[in-house]
A and B are shown apart, each in its own frame.
Chain A
């Protein structure tokens, strides 16, 4: 087996919160797949504990969260806190949803690496990941 120079970046893509609006998260998942990433889609209504558990078992380097219920200030920091508790703060967390600028600033301070708001081109998300993982797959 030829060992490949590219290592696949594995990304957990999860919907946190109680709402079921998964159009955006699915479009993003497909775009990441098409960019060559391995996406582990964990579906709807994931608690922070479930998201982090999946990330650890799947050996993911990245967690992408989507939320539309307005509970991002509760749930995003909860994911970061859970990563801390499980000693896995090297895992990069990004998120998407209708999130005000003030909240984005606060979330970034709390350890969320990036937030993408509605209307962000998919290529921007892919571009951000490539920059973050220059020698990663995709």
Chain B
């Protein structure tokens, strides 16, 4: 058979690993023997391994959604208007670190961070500026924020109210995925239990009041960027998804009332086939669990929809032009994996703020995939490939093994508290780094094929005056607002947090009363406390 031929044929001897980048061992050849035996799978049909739409990209191309953020609300507002005037229909908001961490721009630990990685939002006043002159009923907005997600969503609803747009007409996505914060990105504030309550509160509230809103984007991206393997990314993300489902069911919600609004967000890394297998396995696993474990009746509840971003960690500061090729390979994997929307990184992102040219090339890469490569013409073109089908099954098997381990620990939150995920990820990251140092993995331009060059790193310079100006704006808001109404709203919020009411109406009232993000968070911290993670190195 082929094995004997292979053994007797010459073999390369360069010491480079032949397993996937995540360490899944691979055969040199896959044949009919390796094809899993199962009923034929078809796109648009359960378990959706080959895609959730029967017409694939022939029906509709993926959405090309590029994420960006600027320093001030005014500047970002101008940028949004420019994008909308040029035909873009969806906005994507990046917030600065103090906003992401739920603190005001004048907090002592905000120094040096205001407006650096996105826009600074302290109160409804900033949100009004951010969306000034933009009809919220006609666009969709994606907001990347987690611990304080409920507050920012309420600010958005409040701006819409002022525009006369009812909440029911609002469309968009809130990241709102606190579990992956504990696992990987570490932008947590409250302990896990009250954090989960806030997530469920927002899901429950939106199911009734903002039905077109995607209330959560369950994210593997940050898990992968923190150094996990592809299987860990997949398994931990889906486990998180199920933890949210469990929490909503516990609240008394019906599965088909919220499941269709759950969406996912994955990383597209450089190991091409492994990534495609990951996306295919994700859909199959999710559909199976939703139908079989949770008894969802509606097909919409079974379908896993996801956004993809190419891997920031795969980019290199050395010979940065190579990143264009890397991003193209990763984007191709996302497309062949059937993503619903895609962000392609700019080649110079690792060096700082993308130049206009680099940002344009990133978008053009997607357009080339859509219109030149032919990748969009055939649905799931790799379906039936001996290798891809076998790898899809292998990824699924390994994910299942992780589900069992998580169950043994007692579920996602106990596993977080025990440092399980954190340890697994740190181990994987360290293993990969060592493989690089030993040249068992090569990164072109980094540990092999280097050139002597001087690549200037250029980061976005934020005018230091911005911080004091934003603080001044904040003082003005505090000075002008109806202080009694604000204090009352925060007191009611605190009282509600100590009970079991859905907190969304209380947060909304605080927002309307121009309580600042930091004040609202502090009121909740008074009741919930602050979480410190166990050291897992």
**A74-B112 contact in complex given A20-B186, A21-B185, A23-B227, C-beta closer than 8 Å:** yes
Is there an interface contact between A119 and B316, defined as CB atoms closer than 8 Å?
yes
Interface presence of B437 (CB below 8 A): yes
The answer to whether A43 touches B535, judged by C-beta atoms less than 8 angstroms apart, is yes
**With A30-B537, A41-B537, A44-B186 in contact, do A21 and B226 touch (Cβ < 8 Å)?**
yes
Q: Is A123 an interface residue (CB 8 A)?
A: yes
CB-based nearest B residue for A121: B437
Which of A23, A27, A70, A123 lies in contact with B117, CB distance below 8 A? A70
The reply to whether B533 and A27 form a contact with Cβ atoms under 8 Å apart is no
Which A residues are in CB contact (< 8 Å) with B390? Answer: none
Q: Which of A2-10, A83-91, A98-106 contacts B (4 or more CB under 8 A)?
A: A98-106
The answer on a CB contact under 8 Å between A23 and B457 is no
Contacts of B313 in A (CB 8 A): 23
A131 to B535: give the CA distance in the assembly, Å. 29
Contact between A118 and B317, CB atoms less than 8 A apart: yes
* Interface residue tally on B, bucketed by range: 35 or more
Contact with A along B420-447 (1 / 0, CB 8 A): 0000011001100100010000000011
Contact B113 A17 (CB under 8 A): yes
Binds A, one of B93-101, B332-340, B497-505: B93-101
Docked pose: A65 CA to B289 CA in angstroms: 43
Q: Which of B106-124 contact A (CB under 8 A)?
A: 108-113, 116-117
B181, CB-defined interface residue at 8 Å? yes
Cβ B429 vs Cβ A100 within 8 A: no
Enumerate chain B residues within 8 angstroms of A20, measured Cβ to Cβ. Answer: 181, 185-187
Q: Is A75 an interface residue (CB 8 A)?
A: yes
Q: Total A-B pairs in contact (CB under 8 Å)? A: 106
Q: Which residues of A contact B101 (CB under 8 A)?
A: 18, 45
**B247 interface residue (CB < 8 Å to A):** no
In the assembled complex, the Cα of A83 lies from the Cα of B32 at a distance in Å of: 67
* Selected contact of B317 from candidates A41, A44, A71, A119, CB within 8 Å: A119
Interface residues of B in 290-333 (CB under 8 A from A): 313, 316-318
Beta-carbon contact of B457 and A29 below 8 Å: no
B447 / chain A contacts, CB cutoff of 8 Å: 121
Given contacts A23-B227, A70-B117, contact A100 B112 (CB under 8 A): no
Asked whether B459 is an interface residue with its Cβ less than 8 Å from the other chain, the reply is: yes
Give chain A residues whose Cβ lies under 8 Å from the Cβ of B532.
43
Q: A75 vs B109: C-alpha distance in the bound complex, in angstroms?
A: 10
**Does B242 count as interface, using CB distance less than 8 angstroms?**
no
B208-259 residues at the A interface, CB under 8 angstroms? 225-227
A19 interface residue per 8 A CB criterion? yes
A61 on the interface (CB 8 Å rule)?
no
Indicate if the CB atoms of B459 and A41 lie closer than 8 Å.
no
Q: Are A119 and B318 in contact (CB under 8 A)?
A: yes
Interface residue B25 (Cβ < 8 Å from any Cβ of A): no
Q: For A23, A27, A45, A99, which residue has the most chain B Cβ atoms within 10 angstroms?
A: A23
- In the complex, A81 has a CB within 8 A of chain B: no
Query: What residues on B are CB-neighbors of A110 within 8 Å?
Result: none
Q: Is B271 an interface residue (CB 8 A)?
A: no
Nearest Cβ in chain A — how far from B192, in angstroms? 15
**Inside 8 A of A41's CB, which chain B residues have their CB?**
535, 537
Q: List chain A residues, Cβ under 8 A from B116.
A: 69-71
A17 proximity list for chain B (CB < 8 A)? 97, 112-113
Contact partners of A39 in chain B: CB under 8 A: 537
Provide the bound-state CA to CA distance between A75 and B352, in Å: 18
Contact A29–B537 (Cβ < 8 Å): yes
Residues of A close to B98: CB separation below 8 A: 18
The reply to whether B226 and A23 contact each other, CB–CB distance below 8 Å, is: yes
Is there a chain A Cβ closer than 8 Å to B351's Cβ? yes
B186: chain A residues within 8 A (beta carbon): 20-22, 44
Kindly name the residue among A26, A118, A122 whose own CB sees the greatest number of chain B CB atoms within 10 A: A26
Question: Does B456 touch A at the CB level, under 8 Å?
Answer: yes
Q: Does B460 contact A (CB under 8 A)?
A: yes
> Does the CB pair B100–A18 fall under 8 Å?
yes
Determine whether the beta carbon of B226 is less than 8 Å from that of A100. Answer: no
Cβ contacts under 8 Å, B482 to chain A: none
Task: Please state if B227 and A98 are interface contacts (CB–CB under 8 Å).
Answer: no
Q: Which A residues lie within 8 Å of B113 (CB)?
A: 17-18, 69-71, 74
Indicate if B458 sits at the interface (CB-CB under 8 A). Answer: yes
Whether A118 touches B350, Cβ cut-off 8 Å, given contacts A41-B535, A100-B458, A101-B456, is: yes
| Bound-complex Cα distance A43 to B181 (A) | 15
User: Which of chain A's residues have a CB closer than 8 A to the CB of B181?
Assistant: 20
Q: Knowing A19-B117, A22-B186, A75-B112 touch, does A98 contact B459 (C-beta < 8 A)?
A: yes
| Chain A residues, CB < 8 A from B429 | 23, 26-27
23 pairs across A/B with beta carbons < 8 Å?
Answer: A18-B100, A18-B109, A20-B181, A20-B187, A23-B225, A26-B430, A27-B227, A30-B426, A31-B430, A43-B535, A44-B186, A45-B101, A70-B116, A71-B111, A71-B113, A74-B113, A98-B352, A98-B457, A99-B459, A118-B316, A119-B316, A119-B446, A123-B437
B interface with A by C-beta (< 8 Å): 97-98, 100-101, 108-113, 116-117, 181, 185-187, 225-227, 313, 316-318, 350-352, 425-426, 429-430, 433, 437, 446-447, 456-460, 462, 532-533, 535, 537
| Sample of 7 more A-B contacts, CB < 8 Å, known A98-B350, A122-B433 | A17-B112, A18-B113, A19-B117, A70-B113, A100-B457, A118-B317, A118-B350
